[in-house]
Amino acid sequence: MTELLRIEDEGAVRVLTMNRPDKLNALNTELTAGLIDALEAADADPDVRVVVLTGAGRGFCAGADLTEFADLTAARPDAVRDRSELTWRLQSLLPSLSKVVIAAARGPAVGGGAGLLAGADLAVASTTLKFGYPELSHDIVAALVMTGLTRAMGRKAAFELLALRRMLSAHEAHDAGAINRVVADEDLLGTAMEMARSVAEVNPVAMAATKDLFYRTAEAPYPEAMRAGRDVNQIMRSFRS
């Protein structure tokens, strides 16, 4: 995976760089599988406290590699199922990790790439960002990235992106709640690393519990969310060094 995915450590920060710049880092099967393995490995590594996910070249990720779709037909149901399972694993993985994931995006972040950006815990984008879900233009459904989108943005704004296939600028994506910060292109990775180092300063047990509780309460009914908060509150003293 050294060709398709660069993996570098800077202290407690692991930087994963999708490395298909000539394809705008489109997610083929090999890169998708490599990302899953790398994210799970980072989550299991006690020396890693935060992950920065970015793309080489002028784009973050152009989504699924459509050249593979020619083989994904009703005549090959096993291939269709396996590719769907792989995409499902990647798109559902980020919120389930115990480590914080920060996306650093420039240029196109569309389809599956938009799903990775929306699914990250924190996201910073350069002013060159183009964020959107063009699946319907290709007669397909944004099925495996829709859940992350509706949780990152309001329902009306999310459905507009799907139905009208609009591309949002960095500032529009920020105003819609899909990203945290917009910076100059030359400041992108530096800003993401600054955020990552701040996250890495926190007790990792407390940070993992914060992330877990955040996602459990985000969609839970109020009483259930409050009970989950109560349970974490009662054990929080164990987080202290």
CA proximity to 239, closest of 210, 206, 217: 206
Separation CA 219–CA 152 (nearest Å)? 12
Q: State which H helix or E strand residue 90 sits in.
A: helix 77-96
Task: Write down the residue that tokens 């349970």 correspond to.
Answer: 231
3-state secondary structure of 202: coil
135 flagged as catalytic: yes
Backbone angles phi, psi at 193, to 5 degrees: -70, -35
Asked whether 145 and 112 are in contact (CB, 8 A), the reply is: yes
Question: Strands 130-132 and 167-169, how do they pair?
Answer: antiparallel
CA proximity to 200, closest of 72, 83, 52, 97: 52
The catalytically annotated residue of 68, 135, 172, 224 is 135
* Active centre residues (catalytic): 135
